[in-house]
Amino acid sequence: MRIVLTAGFDRARHAVAIAELARRAGHTVAAVIVVRALRVRRVKQFVRQRGAGGLVDAARRFVGGAPRETADSEVEALLVQESIAERSLSAWCRRHGVPLRAVADLNAPNTVEFLRALRVDGVVYGGGGILRRPFLEAADGRVLNAHSGPLPDVRGMNACEWALLLGAPPAITIHVIDEGIDTGGVLEVVPIAVEPGDTLARLRGKCVVAGVRGLVRALGVLAGPLPRRAPAAASRRQCFTLAPVLRELLEQRLEARGGA
Amino acid sequence: MSQLTLQTLELYARHRRASLDWLVRSIEHGAGGSCAHFSIALGWSHPYPETTGYVIPTLLANQAELPELGLREHALACGRWLLSIQNSDGSWNGGLHPCKGAAKPSVFNTGQILKGMLALHRADAGPEFLNAASRGAEWLVSRAAADGLWGGGDYRASQTPSYYTHVLWPMLDTWLETGERSVRDSVERGVATVLARIRPNGVIAHWGFTDEPRAFTHTIAYALRGLLECSRILGAWDDVGARTVPALEKLLRRAELDGGRLAGEFDDDWRPKARYECLTGSAQTAINLLLWEHNEPDLRIVNAAAKLVDRVCATQHLTHPLAGVRGAVAGSWPIWGRYMTLRYPNWAAKYHVDALARLSARIEREAESACASS
């Protein structure tokens, strides 16, 4: 398959893993579109949603610093396991001669035109913000995403955490992106095992790694018709970032279950 | 296994204690009641009968946990003061006490004071409190129009605002104690009238202070709370309480999208009409979300309530050198916003305490259920 990959920032390690594993699986990455991270609006929105702590974590990832115990640790382990040397999309693109386009907004008209002109089989979403109709139309509705929770039950942000809180079995879902929030057709739901010693960060990491592998595995479906949105997909209440008190509660629950 | 302890709950306890300390100070400066507000420029205001009435249940609810604050004694003192200023027809006057101009009985204020009277009655403080509540409720019934509301309005609007559901609720609560059927019948008519004002987008027409198509979150929350509480007492979630859900869904989403910051005012299409936050409205909305969640359990609703509460906590000074600011909750944030500009109202502290208590209890229940199942 000939694909385009999106990412929220250049040092998105999971996106590097998707690009490389897709290449190794015989697919062609026609271009990588990266959203420029340092935009005032984006930073403000980020702080409002995730607080200053979230910004510190993001800044650490942005500069490529050694990940503390976050989901990045698991992704780093995947890169090592798969002998992937690059830690940024720009480095990966340089090595493989793939065009890298840095954009202000995935939904901006020039980004949409760029995508349309590539005439690819599909897009793999590796981050970059909510996709609007023009982008989805330019991709002919063929955009795949790995969601860190079981769909349609747990849609929205912090899905791995919410699955645990809501008593749903932790899982990731490979699905098609449509105009709703995590409402597109489902391709595969992959269970995530909760093991002794697991922390929230580790579980999130497991979800990201399972998502990377799931997306690469799913690329073949871009050759045929894709599943459509289930009728009740949007009826479940959307999840948002966890409030500190619920995050703390969940961490302690995990600990009580024999976790870290 | 031992009970889980959460640092966030300990933080909530500190904020709750600080606000209760502040409420006690507002009573100590209030010559009988609780001062309506503190302002850095003007100091403590006169006492406010309306909000003194509904501060009483908050004081009593926290007595067992914080006996050293003498909250029951303060509640009793406030209650006796309110008895001393009740009109012979059972009503209470509007405004601060003493009134600046001619005293005028107030429907809304009488309704709020009923809450204090009932709380004291239920705390075995004496039969005089139920008697006062009963007389107040009878006065409200006697003044109600055929639609169960109070035609002609009572504050700044041309017709009874929809937040007068906050009067229907204590009337119904009084009926629970007295069994006086005329009170319940009148309330049911009023509830039906307000339910008919609900638009498809969840907005309840006339829920603001004025006839303008915009409202503070404070009065939006009043209107919704009144319906939620009437629904609870009537056992009518499907017919009454559930009708508030479209509005609550909107408020939840707004709160979540902005990390707990809720615009202080909305128009009739849910467009934010303010850059400031009305903190008491945020705390009240958190309570309403938790009341909704009680009927339709979902931690995603609790999450939004927690963000609203966290946001109010973030604006609160716990160590400010001025006693009138320490533990207070501002009317607006930033404090120069349009709602209670540059003032710290006692109702903001009261609703903050109530929201913290409800949220903490909900989280503790969740933690206990996790302990029990592990």
For residue A36, give the CATH number of its domain: 3.40.50.170
In a domain, B35, yes or no: yes
Q: pLDDT tens, position by position, for chain A (260 residues)?
A: 999 999 999 999 999 999 999 999 999 999 999 999 766 666 666 666 566 666 666 666 566 555 455 667 899 999 999 999 999 999 999 999 999 999 999 999 999 999 999 999 999 999 999 999 999 999 999 999 999 999 999 999 999 999 999 999 999 999 999 999 999 999 999 999 999 889 999 999 999 999 999 999 999 999 999 999 887 787 889 999 999 999 999 999 888 876 54
Residues of B in Cβ contact (< 8 Å) with A245: 6, 8-9, 12, 306, 310, 359, 363
What local confidence, expressed as pLDDT, does residue A67 receive?
46
Q: For strand A171-176 and strand A186-191, is the pairing parallel, antiparallel, or unpaired?
A: antiparallel
pLDDT of B2 > 50? The answer is no
Q: Does residue A192 contact residue A207 with C-beta atoms inside 8 Å?
A: yes
What local confidence, expressed as pLDDT, does residue A197 receive?
87
What local confidence, expressed as pLDDT, does residue B151 receive?
79
* Alpha-carbon distance A70 to nearest alpha carbon in chain B (angstroms): 21
Q: Please count the structural domains in chain A.
A: 1
Length of chain B: 374
Would the CB atoms of A256 and B8 count as touching at under 8 Å?
A: no
What local confidence, expressed as pLDDT, does residue B81 receive?
98
In a domain, B330, yes or no: yes
Q: Which of B249, B251, B256, B302 to mutate to test the interface with A (most CBs of A within 10 A)?
A: B256
In a domain, B66, yes or no: yes
Residues of A in Cβ contact (< 8 Å) with B12: 245
B-contacting residues in A 218-237 (Cβ below 8 Å)? 237
Residues of B in Cβ contact (< 8 Å) with A149: none
Question: How far is the C-alpha of B46 from the C-alpha of B287, rounded, in Å?
Answer: 28
Q: What angle do CA A136, A141, A146 make, to 5 degrees?
A: 90
Residues of A in Cβ contact (< 8 Å) with B298: 237
Is A239 near chain B, with CB under 8 Å?
yes
Number of CB pairs, chain A paired with chain B, less than 8 A apart: 69
What local confidence, expressed as pLDDT, does residue B5 receive?
80
Under the banding of pLDDT at 50, 70 and 90, the label for residue B105 is very high
> Looking at residues B104-115, what average pLDDT do you find?
97
Q: Please count the structural domains in chain B.
A: 1
ipTM above 0.90, yes or no: yes
Q: Render A237-250 in DSSP notation, one character per residue.
A: PEE-PPPHHHHHHH
Q: Which range of residues forms the domain containing residue A20?
A: 2-256
Structural Rg of chain A based on CA atoms: 17
Instruction: Note the pLDDT tens digit of each residue in B215-263.
Output: 999 999 999 999 999 999 999 999 999 999 999 999 999 999 999 999 9
Instruction: Note the pLDDT tens digit of each residue in B145-193.
Output: 999 999 765 566 677 999 999 999 999 999 999 999 999 999 999 999 9
CATH number, domain of B178, equals 1.50.10.10
What local confidence, expressed as pLDDT, does residue A257 receive?
75
Would the CB atoms of A243 and B307 count as touching at under 8 Å?
A: yes
CA atoms within 13 A on the CB side of B340: 26
Q: Which range of residues forms the domain containing residue B313?
A: 7-373
Q: Which of A245, A247, A251, A255 to mutate to test the interface with B (most CBs of B within 10 A)?
A: A245
Residue B41: what residue type?
A: A
* Alpha-carbon distance A80 to nearest alpha carbon in chain B (angstroms): 36
What local confidence, expressed as pLDDT, does residue B159 receive?
79
Would the CB atoms of B306 and A257 count as touching at under 8 Å?
A: no
Write phi, then psi, for A236 (nearest 5 degrees): -75, 145
Q: Does residue B279 contact residue B245 with C-beta atoms inside 8 Å?
A: no
Residue B321: what residue type?
A: P
E strand intervals along chain B:
37-39, 43-44, 214-216, 265-267, 277-278, 332-333, 343-345
* Long-range own/partner contacts, residues B109-112 (CB < 8 A, 24 or more apart): B109/B49, B109/B50, B109/B53, B110/B136, B110/B139, B110/B140, B110/B167, B111/B136, B111/B140, B111/B164, B111/B166, B111/B167, B111/B168, B111/B169, B111/B170, B111/B171, B112/B50, B112/B51, B112/B53, B112/B54, B112/B166, B112/B167, B112/B170
**Which of B8, B259, B307 is closest, CB to CB, to A248?**
B8
Question: How far is the C-alpha of A167 from the C-alpha of B281, rounded, in Å?
Answer: 32
What local confidence, expressed as pLDDT, does residue B1 receive?
42
In a domain, B2, yes or no: no
